[in-house]
Amino acid sequence: MSWFLAFLAGTATGVLSAFGIGGGSLLLIYLTAFAELSQQAAQGINLLYFLPAAAAALPSHRKNGLLDKTVIPPAVLTGLVTAATAAWLSNGLDTAVLRKLFGVFLLYIGVTQLIKKDESGTEKHPASP
């Protein structure tokens, strides 16, 4: 049964990742809450999961014109430096602290998404002016 649950979690988070919703965050919740892995182990698995999921979704986003080429280089460079620094720092933190920080992060994202409004009242396409 645990193999089937892991398959379902991977499928669901893969679909969400393809939509750009953040399936990796949900995968972390599954791995820590249901698979009972440590936060550090879940983060490592999530990093390995993200690479093929992003590679699979990228061609579709490129084809649909959803990539702003002026933003990509600084975002990638900043992301690499920040990810390396955060990975180094997280190795020195207690798992309980990491879980609490991740929980606060998820709460913040959830609340901001609930109260966020587009001023025009319609959803704006990222590639539109």
> How many domains does one find in the chain?
1
Angle at Cα 118 formed by Cα 13 and Cα 50, nearest 5°?
20
Q: Give the pLDDT confidence score for residue 80 in this predicted structure.
A: 94
Across the range 74-80, mean pLDDT stands at: 95
Give the pLDDT confidence of 10-58 residue by residue, as tens digits: 888 888 877 777 777 888 888 988 888 888 888 889 888 888 888 888 8
Q: What is the pLDDT of residue 103?
A: 86
**Helix, strand, coil % in the chain, rounded to nearest 5:** 75, 0, 25
If you average pLDDT over residues 60-69, what whole number do you get? 90
Our CA angle for 70, 75, 80, nearest 5°, is 145
Q: Which amino acid, 122?
A: T
Between 113 and 70, residue with greater pLDDT: 70
Tell whether 125 is covered by a domain: no
Is residue 121 situated within a structural domain? no
HSE-up (13 A, CA, CB side) for residue 18: 9
In 3D, which of 44, 26, 36 has the Cα closest to residue 87?
A: 44
Q: In the structure encoding, which two tokens stand for residue 26, read together?
A: 């949900």
pLDDT tens-digit profile of 85-101?
A: 988 887 888 878 888 88
CA angle 85, 47, 10 (to 5 degrees): 155
Is-above-0.85 flag for pTM?
A: no
| Domain membership flag for residue 129 | no
The answer to whether position 126 is within a domain reads no
pLDDT at 117 over 80: no
Residue ranges making up the domain that contains 79: 2-115
